[in-house]
Structure formats: structure tokens, C-alpha cells
Amino acid sequence: MTPDISALVAAARRVAANAHAPYSRFGVGAALLLADGTVVTGTNFENASYGLSLCAETVALANANSEGRFRDVVAIAVVGGLLDADGAMKGDAAIYPCGRCRQVLNEAAQMGGRDIIVHCASADGAHVETHSLSALLPHAFGPADLGLAP
Ligand code: THU
């Protein structure tokens, strides 16, 4: 792992400790890298009305947008795992963004005019799998389909 990637995964892991996930007991942290090096984070944020729960990646992107920065995303790191009784995240599988989050990421990619690099990490720190968003979401629906240029 290059230092840039390990730092981004570390940021995602740090905020995953703040995941509000009492229902699934599955914590997720996401860290966005912006073009100027700024890191913006998010965690999953569940709700007693389960279907209202928000994913970490979507929260991170909304946080970037609140700073006027969602067009500047160049990469994202995602890490997640089941939470044990002490709140520690467990798991040996790299966690990939769900389909909805891939689509939300595509909005940032299209509006930013660049593909986004997606680093998918496991809770145990043993695995980071890296892909482009365009590989994870081929033939995406986006602003151009609605006649909007970025
Ligand atoms: N979750 C995320 O935060 N990101 C994903 O890409 C997949 C799933 C969250 C939603 C829910 O709080 C928990 O993980 C279990 O689905």
C-alpha cells in the first residue's frame, strides 16, 4: 500500500468507530480524498426506521458537498465489518460500496469530470482492493443522460 492509500484507509477506519449502527451491528467508515489533499469522512448512520439508514459513502459525499467540494473527489477508501460487543470492527473481507453508493459516487465523478479511485479495505487491515468507479459501475446513468454537461 502506498502511504497515500494507507492514510486514506486509516481515516476511514478512524471514523468507523463513530458509526451509528445499533441495528445491523455493521460499522462502515468512508474517507474521500479531494484534489488538494483534503480528506472528508463519513460513517453509516442508521435509524430505528431501518429503511432511512444512510451509508458511510453517501454521508461522506454529502459532507463534501456541504463544503462545496463534491466535484473535487479523486478517491475514496471504504472499510467496514461486524461490530463485536466491545464495538471493535471484525472481518477479513474487503468492503465494496453498495450499488446505491456507487451511483451517488458517479454524480461526483461526472460533475467533477474524472473517474474516482475506490479503495475497498477489510476490517482486519489485511486487504485493500482498488478499482476505478467506472469499472464498478459500468454504463452508469448520469447527468449527461439528462442533457446536463458537468
Ligand atoms: N453500509 C454502508 O455504510 N455502505 C455500504 O456501501 C454498504 C452498507 C451500511 C448500511 C448499514 O448501516 C450497514 O452497512 C449494513 O448494511
> For position 42, what pLDDT does the model report?
98
Does residue 24 line the site of ligand 1, with CB under 6 A?
A: yes
Q: Which atom of ligand 1 is nearest to the CA of 23?
A: 12
At 72, is the secondary structure helix, strand, or coil? helix
Task: Supply 1's cell numbers.
Answer: 500500500
Nearest CA among 132, 138, 124, 21 for reference residue 76: 132
Task: Supply 33's cell numbers.
Answer: 480524498
- Counting ligand 1 atoms within 8 A of each CB, the residue from 24, 52, 89 with the most, and so the one to mutate, is 24
pLDDT in tens, 75-102: 999 999 999 999 999 999 999 999 999 9
- pTM exceeding 0.95: yes
- CA-to-CA distance for 54 and 13, rounded, in angstroms? 17
Q: DSSP label at 95?
A: P
Helix (H) / strand (E) element for 59: namely helix 56-66
- Counting ligand 1 atoms within 8 A of each CB, the residue from 50, 55, 102, 133 with the most, and so the one to mutate, is 55
- Asked whether the beta carbons of 122 and 93 are under 8 A apart, the reply is yes
Task: Supply 141's cell numbers.
Answer: 446513468
Beta strand 73-83 pairing with 89-90: antiparallel
Does residue 103 line the site of ligand 1, with CB under 6 A?
A: no
* Centroid of ligand 1 to alpha carbon of 149 (angstroms): 31
Residue 93: CA count within 13 A, CB half-sphere = 7
Helix (H) / strand (E) element for 133: namely helix 133-136
Task: Supply 130's cell numbers.
Answer: 482498488
Active site residue 57: yes
pLDDT in tens, 7-47: 999 999 999 999 999 999 999 999 999 999 999 999 999 99
Cβ-based burial of 130 (10 A; exposed 0-12, middle 13-18, buried ≥19): middle
> For position 3, what pLDDT does the model report?
65
